[in-house]
């Protein structure tokens, strides 16, 4: 399932919904001398997404699609083609892409998820881990398939859950690990 690079840098789009902290770490990664990716497009479903500020700071093209109707995906596909995008990184993107969209980019969409998949697919992962008295949670980088959070796992990082943790404190520690493993996972599949 590895994405063939030759030795070229892969044109990448990052899809975001929120603060864009994973986007920021991916941008930093893309600026490294031997990075296998360049970030050429940022797409958000949220016009108020703080992450869109990174597009301005780093002078990266950005587009906002509200996903209110099906034609938005067609417009996104058009943008991806126009910008010669070969890889999509979902980074806190809170919309589910259609099966048709995923098929178009089969094996070329990567996501970061805040749990140790296959545990806790979907939302509210931190509360679910704490409420189940799990000793560990963590994060997972995986390929995107039409089945939610079920694609082949590329890399995971365990994070210990402390007795006094709440969803917010756990989320903070997991997010730090997300910023480390997303670039690592891309290196693994692209080098």
Phi-psi region of 155 (alpha: psi -120 to 50; beta: other; left: phi over 0): beta
Residues 36, 166: Cα–Cα separation, whole Å: 37
Structure tokens at 36: 């296998």
Structure tokens at 3: 């994405």
Query: For residue 13, how far is the Cα from the chain centroid?
Result: 10
Number of C-beta neighbours around residue 191 at 10 A: 10
Tokens 């990448």 correspond to 12
Confirm if 62 and 45 have CB atoms less than 8 A apart.
no
For the annotated catalytic residues, the residue numbers are 113
């Amino acid at each position: 399932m590895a994405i063939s690079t030759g030795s070229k840098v892969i044109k990448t789009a990052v899809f975001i919904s929120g603060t864009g902290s994973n986007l920021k770490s991916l941008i930093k990664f893309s600026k490294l001398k031997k990075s296998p990716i360049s970030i050429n497009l940022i797409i958000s479903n949220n016009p108020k997404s703080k992450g869109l500020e990174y597009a301005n700071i780093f002078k990266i093209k950005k587009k906002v699609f509200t996903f209110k109707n099906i034609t938005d995906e067609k417009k996104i596909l058009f943008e991806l083609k126009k910008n010669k995008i070969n890889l999509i990184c979902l980074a806190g993107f809170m919309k589910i892409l259609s099966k048709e969209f995923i098929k178009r980019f089969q094996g070329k969409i990567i996501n970061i998820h805040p749990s140790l998949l296959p545990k806790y697919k979907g939302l509210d992962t931190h509360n679910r881990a704490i409420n189940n008295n799990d000793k560990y949670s963590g994060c997972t980088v995986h390929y995107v398939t039409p089945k939610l959070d079920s694609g082949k796992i590329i890399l995971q990082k365990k994070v210990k859950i402390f007795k006094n943790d709440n969803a917010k404190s756990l989320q903070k520690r997991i997010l730090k690990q997300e910023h480390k493993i997303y670039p690592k996972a891309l290196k693994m599949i692209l080098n």
